[in-house]
Every structure is written in C-alpha cells, then in structure tokens.
Amino acid sequence: MTGPTLSLPLAVLEGIHLNELINQLTSVLADSEASSDPAIERLVPDAYPEDTDASAEFSNATRADLLERRRADAVSVQHALKPLSTVAPEDLAGDEAIQEREVLIPAQELDAWLRTLTALRLVIAARLNITAADDEHDLDDPRFHVYDWLGYRLDGLVALADAHDEASG
Amino acid sequence: MSTPIATPDLDEVTDLYAAPLEPWQLVVWNDPVNLMSYVARVFRTYFGYSSEHANQLMLSVHNDGHAIVDTGPRETMEVHAQAMHDFGLWATVRKVPS
C-alpha cells in the first residue's frame, strides 16, 4: 500500500531534536491524569465557557479521545523521523549534522504531522506564558528559539501540503 | 444504546420538527500560537471551504478575535468543535445569540 508521499527537507540535527521534543510531549501526555497542567488544558479547550454542565459533558466525551490522538499522531511522526533520529549525534562527522535529508511523509499522515507540530507549539507556548502574538521573546531562553523554529517548519509544511493539494486537485 | 422504556408520544416528535433547524454556532477564537496559514488550511480541508472563504474566516479570527465558522444543529457543531480541538484550534459551541 503506497500512496503519494511528501518529502520534507530536514537537517539530521533537527530530526534528532524534533524526535526528542516529541518524547517530551509524550511524557507530558502521560502525566495528563495526574495533575492539572495548563499545557494539557490548551490541547483540550473548553467548548462551553459559559455553561459549566455542558462544558463538563463535552470534556467527558472528548478529552481522553483527543489526548489519545495526540499520542497516536506522535507515534506516526516519530516513525517517519526514524532515519534521522536513530543517528547518534556523536557519530556524525563534520557538517553532517546540519546537512538536510528528505523526510518522507505519506500524504495520509500529513495531518498527524501538522497537528503534532501545532501541539508542540501550544505546549511550549503554555510553558512560556505566550499570551499575545507580539509578546516579547526572551532570546536568552532557548525555548523561544525552539518555538520559533517549530513555527518556521510548520509554516513550511503547510505550504508543502497546500502545494500537494493543488497538484492532486 | 438503551432500550426506551416507553415509546415517545407523537407530541414530542412534532416538537422536534418544530425546533429551529440551525440554532447553534461553532466559534473559533484567536490565539497567539496558531499560524495564519495553518488556520486557513484547517478551514479549507476540514470544512471543504474554498481558499477564499477559508482565508476570509481566518482573517476574521485574526482581526476580530473570533469568527463563526459554521452554524447548524448542536450535535454537528460539537463534532466540529472536537475536530477543531484535534487540530489545536480553540473552538466553542453556543446558541445563536437572539
């Protein structure tokens, strides 16, 4: 079963980092039952802010399913990343780490990629207290660089996906 | 699915038909994280809206803080809300304000 595939250029080091970030996302998800976490709450927003009963009912019906989908998406992204992420950084010679490789994304897993990159940004934004688009970025905090880098890659992937739709009608 | 204890009487059925067809709205709210290109893509691919319409809705979300993305029966709006949450968008369901 092979369908259309998109190819996303990604440096080996980026693949390693992205894989590690998804590991962290997975552990945040694993703790979602244990305690209240604003990052998790952002992944399962309140559909009825003005109606407590309807809000609870909607949450009961959707929360577990949504969080499970984040886990499932994470698994498929990490699967596609394997050719890059299984490389040990210390085994990379010279500028090999920053050389771009093509990550192959089956078209039917494109949404899983878009949703995972989005979920990572939402979680990081919650950790960084980003509440407005023009919030000052503290450039000494490496998490802002990670957040911006994910935004850059997500925007590129959206463009790639839109072009793919255009071409396949 | 549980078995109904009694058959609903005809009056209730009539009431259902009398209910307004489109009393609920799906509202998507602006947030500082989601990219404009991504939000427009979600509106286009999920709802099947044209690029123009999807883009217009995205700009309403961005500029006005929110947009009514769809209107219809409550259950349908809830399905859409869950789908929007799945994509990381902040969506709520509400009755059409009278």
CATH number, residue B63:
3.30.1390.10
Confidence label for A132 from pLDDT (cuts 50, 70 and 90): confident
Does residue B87 lie within any of the structural domains? yes
H/E stretch holding A63: helix A52-85
Contact A132, B32 (CB under 8 A): yes
Confidence label for A73 from pLDDT (cuts 50, 70 and 90): very high
Does residue B1 lie within any of the structural domains? no
Count, residues in chain A: 169
CA distance A100 to A25: 24
pLDDT score of A84: 87
pLDDT score of A153: 96
The 3-state DSSP class for residue A152 equals helix
CA distance B14 to A7: 55
The 3-state DSSP class for residue B74 equals helix
**In the predicted structure, residue A37 carries a pLDDT above the cut 80:** yes
- B82 to A130: CB separation less than 8 angstroms, yes or no: no
pLDDT score of A92: 79
Residue in chain A closest to B90 (alpha carbons) equals A45
Cα atoms found within 13 Å of the Cα of residue A156, Cβ hemisphere only:
11
- Give me the numbers of helices (H) and strands (E) for chain B, helices first please: 4, 3
Q: Can you say whether the dihedral through the CA atoms of B54, B55, B56, B58 is positive or negative? A: positive
Does residue B9 lie within any of the structural domains? no
Output A94 or B68, whichever has higher pLDDT. Answer: B68
pLDDT score of B7: 59
Residue in chain A closest to B26 (alpha carbons) equals A47
Rounded average pLDDT over A22-44: 92
CA distance A93 to A96: 6
Q: Which domain holds residue B78?
A: 19-95
A140: left (phi over 0), alpha (psi -120 to 50) or beta: alpha
Does residue B10 lie within any of the structural domains? no
User: Which runs of E-coded beta strand occur in chain A?
Assistant: 5-11, 100-106
Confidence label for A108 from pLDDT (cuts 50, 70 and 90): very high
- Gap from A132 CA to chain B (nearest CA, Å): 5
**In the predicted structure, residue A1 carries a pLDDT above the cut 60:** no
Of B35, B38, B85, the CB nearest to A62: B85
- B37 to A118: CB separation less than 8 angstroms, yes or no: no
Does residue B7 lie within any of the structural domains? no
Count, residues in chain B: 98
- B85 to A133: CB separation less than 8 angstroms, yes or no: no
Q: Which domain holds residue A108?
A: 5-168
Rounded average pLDDT over A10-27: 95
pLDDT score of A131: 77
Contact A9, A101 (CB under 8 A): yes
- A114 to B38: CB separation less than 8 angstroms, yes or no: yes
Output A131 or A14, whichever has higher pLDDT. Answer: A14
Interface subset of B 43-82, CB within 8 angstroms of A: 45, 78, 81-82
- Which of A65-74, A82-91, B85-94 bottoms out in mean pLDDT, i.e. has the lowest? A82-91
Per-residue pLDDT in tens (0 to 9) along chain B, 98 residues: 555 566 555 555 555 555 556 699 999 999 999 999 999 999 999 999 999 999 999 999 999 999 999 999 999 999 999 999 999 999 999 999 87
% of chain A at pLDDT higher than 70: 96
% of chain A at pLDDT higher than 90: 71
Does residue B70 lie within any of the structural domains? yes
- B41 to A161: CB separation less than 8 angstroms, yes or no: yes
**In the predicted structure, residue A161 carries a pLDDT above the cut 90:** yes
pLDDT score of A34: 73
SS3 assignment for B33-69: CCCHHHHHHHHHHHHCCCHHHHHHHHHHHHHHCEEEE
Per the structure, the count of domains in chain B is 1
pTM: 0.88
Per the structure, the count of domains in chain A is 1
